[in-house]
Amino acid sequence: MKLLQLNVWSGRLEKQIQNLIVQEKPDVICLQEAVSVKGGSNGGMFLTVDEIKQLYGMNLAYSPVMSFSLMRRKAEFGNAIFSKVKIVDVSSVFTRLEYKKDFDFESDDYNIRNLLHVIIDNNGQQLHVLTHHGHHVPSHKRGDEETLRQCAIITEYIKGLQGEVILTGDFNLEPYSESLEKINKVLRNLSIEAKLITTRTPLTHKTEVCDYIFINDEVQVKEFKALDDIVSDHKALVLEFE
């Protein structure tokens, strides 16, 4: 199977993202900063989860953290997981705050965070796939007390799972930050193992590694890589596994 991980940057590079999906042919796609628009087109401004589901015939689990008005329609923003094979269960855990209806970009706290978890029927075996968009500390990627708290929640959640586990996301944290080390101790961090230099693209001045795919020992890796295709201000990560 092949998994694609991407902070999709609200899907603003629509054609490039579509081309990447066609090129890589992933069985599973994990997205952060993913947008859904109800009731029709968004005017071609960005690629929505609804369009990805329709274009590629994939099953969708979507966990928005907020809603807002867009061109007289309702839009939502959050995490998404797509799968070509059957999703048998979906869970969502908010690690900070809760879903905000009619989000006010001027006054509301944008650091609403959740962990999306799906169970996929992988030839009769349960495959756990999770994705998370990490708490954003504006000035650095070393984390703080809040990122420590949220990573502790995620770590304890992971410990309760049986079978193959894949955790993905833009965690907004450096690889060896104190917060991320909580997860590093229970899962393999493939971004560290691959010695990635950056997971950012030329569309931003930032150069850190902050995007990750973690696995437990039951997942057999065939290949892991960061792609150079410009589809976002973050690089896409690809994991091929047994």
DSSP β-bridge partners for residue 165? 128
pLDDT in tens, 96-123: 999 999 999 999 999 999 999 999 998 8
Helices (H), ranges, the chain: 14-24, 49-56, 145-159, 178-184, 190-193
Tell me the C-alpha distance between 28 and 39, whole Å: 26
Strands in 164-170's sheet, in edge-to-edge order, are 87-96, 113-122, 125-133, 164-170, 211-215, 188-189
Judged against a pLDDT cut of 70, whether residue 62 lies above it is answered with yes
**Beta strands 125-133; 164-170: pairing state:** parallel
Judged against a pLDDT cut of 70, whether residue 40 lies above it is answered with no
pLDDT in tens, 5-17: 999 999 999 999 9
Tokens of 81: 């997981």
Are 48 and 37 within 8 A, CB to CB? yes
pLDDT in tens, 181-233: 999 999 999 999 999 999 999 999 999 999 999 999 999 999 999 999 999 99
pLDDT in tens, 64-92: 999 999 888 899 999 999 999 999 999 99
Q: What is the mean pLDDT of residues 133-159?
A: 98
> pTM for this structure?
0.97
pLDDT score for 124:
83
Judged against a pLDDT cut of 80, whether residue 43 lies above it is answered with no
* Average pLDDT across the chain, whole number: 96
pLDDT score for 123:
82
Return the percentage of the chain with pLDDT > 90, whole number: 92
CATH topology of domain 2-241: Deoxyribonuclease I; Chain A (3.60.10)
Find how far residue 201's CA is from the centre of its chain. 17
